[in-house]
Structure 1
């Protein structure tokens, strides 16, 4: 089969399309012919060696959707030909509140979805929502799961609350926007791009600000008042602004630090306002099922940025690395000739 393989770190240019062996199934596994895959920031970090537990060589890719073409002997609940999407959160464990010590993510160290075939445990697959195309289904798993857990499980979003999502444009942030609007919240966003702010408003955001403006936080506070819930993956110098923007008794849920660590946390703001700061990442099987139910019941469609062929995987990774995309970047996987 054709696969995108990373054998040494050094950036996206190190990923090569190679002929690889089709996976041999374990008794509890399925062989899935991938129709579409999707990129995550994680894939770019791995090419630079900036990810915990680096083990190379590896076939990258956490997100994918396709058809079951072979079934392990212990699998009785699925059939060849079933259309499925993959939950990339492997070995979460029994505790729904926190992943266990064996947790990992598909696409390094376990070979991932940038290939014509992938083998995964039958516990990791779910029926593809009928309202989604193959491309949309592939765009959903990692980002949709992360957004759902941050917003619903950890954020405990309620109808009519005010939600702030910094850095709109990434897959997770856009899913959080769509889900929050669907659940009846009033959502505000920020971006360095006025064009992205306009697109977010078309998706249901009530308002937003360009964080490159000098007084962006004051402008946002004027627009929205305070936020009941803030969903943050930015961290860095701006995190203390979130303490100012949160309402007394508000919640801040963080799942990343794309601009680096918080230099000096303003603790008085935290305790005088009785704020909750909650961490999260990925999600449990229960979260994945809940995310799918929300997406299906409300007919939510992922926001797509651009699609590449598998042979263009380096270009796709560079496109993500630049950070100008709005929505998910997908990869069309060729059928076997």
Structure 2
């Protein structure tokens, strides 16, 4: 089968399109013919953090939509022809405070979804929301699940609250914006890009300011109940300074330095809550898909690349050019 593969060299230089052998279908597996494979910043991290010649060829990719082409003899939930999406999490089925030991994400260490076909056990597949196209569904699972858990499971966002989303533009944060507005919450966003600020306002954000602005001054009349932090060291203290006393910061990533320092006395006097979050369980994925269907939410789809444009796609997400999600058309 044809696939986007990383091997031999670190980073973008190790990417190529090549033929890869297909796995044999096990009795509890489904074979999915991939239509669209969504791309995430994780895919960039995967190809930049792997070693070089010592690592075997790897097909990256964690998201996908497609059609069930074949099923193992013990598969009960699906039949050939079903339109489906891939669950990007492996080994986390039931809701829990944290992922269980052995939890992995599709695309490392095993092969991922940037290929013509993907095989997995039937408990790692869900029906595609009917109102979504294959392109929309293919970029949905990982980012939308991450946003859903951060907002609702961890952040416990309510309709009468205000949530702040620094660095709007990523797939996760555009989902968070749409999810928060779907329940009626107030949303504040930041971006260094005026264009991204304007796009966020069009999607329903109530306030958009520059990431480089004085947040305390710009938001002095606002009460921020929940803040979703994904930038890291560059903005963490600005986030801490703008959240209301007793408010909550949920962090799920770090696009700048991982290590942060802050005034612990200020933190405990302010009675703040700091929570980590990582993707979500299979149960949360099903809850998220039901939420998306109920509110007829569509991903903010930025651009779909061809397989031949794989390096351009990795550069596009590396340089944060996207507003919303990108992916590959694999058919």
TM-score scaled by structure 2? 0.96
Separation in 2 of the partners of 1:72 and 1:220?
58
Separation in 2 of the partners of 1:237 and 1:65?
35
- The 1:134–1:196 alpha-carbon spacing in structure 2 relative to 1, beyond 3 Å, is same
Task: Quote how far apart the aligned CAs of 1:243 are.
Answer: 1.5
Task: Quote how far apart the aligned CAs of 1:317 are.
Answer: 0.8
- Show the counterpart of 2:252: 255
Separation in 2 of the partners of 1:93 and 1:332?
28
Q: Which moved more, 1:150-159 or 1:263-272?
A: 263-272
TM-score scaled by structure 1? 0.94
- Show the counterpart of 1:330: 327
1:69-218 equivalences in 2 (<5 Å): 69-92=69-92, 94=94, 96-213=96-213, 215=214, 217-218=215-216
Separation in 2 of the partners of 1:55 and 1:149?
33
- Deviation per residue, 1:28-71 (Å, 9 max, x gap): 110000001111001111111169xx963211110100000111
Q: Would you say the 8 A contact 2:25–2:31 is kept in 1?
A: yes
* Mapped pair 1:225 → 2:237: no
Alignment coverage as a number of residue pairs? 329
Q: Which moved more, 1:196-205 or 1:252-261?
A: 252-261
Unaligned runs of 5+ in 1: none
- Show the counterpart of 2:271: 274
Separation in 2 of the partners of 1:28 and 1:185?
42
Separation in 2 of the partners of 1:212 and 1:50?
33
Q: Which moved more, 1:264-273 or 1:179-188?
A: 264-273
Q: Which moved more, 1:7-16 or 1:73-82?
A: 7-16
Separation in 2 of the partners of 1:197 and 1:159?
23
Per the alignment, in what secondary structure is the counterpart of residue 277 of structure 1?
Answer: strand
Divergent runs of 4+, >4 A: none
Q: Would you say the 8 A contact 1:27–1:75 is kept in 2?
A: yes
Separation in 2 of the partners of 1:229 and 1:276?
9
Separation in 2 of the partners of 1:129 and 1:93?
20
Separation in 2 of the partners of 1:331 and 1:307?
5
Task: Quote how far apart the aligned CAs of 1:144 are.
Answer: 0.3
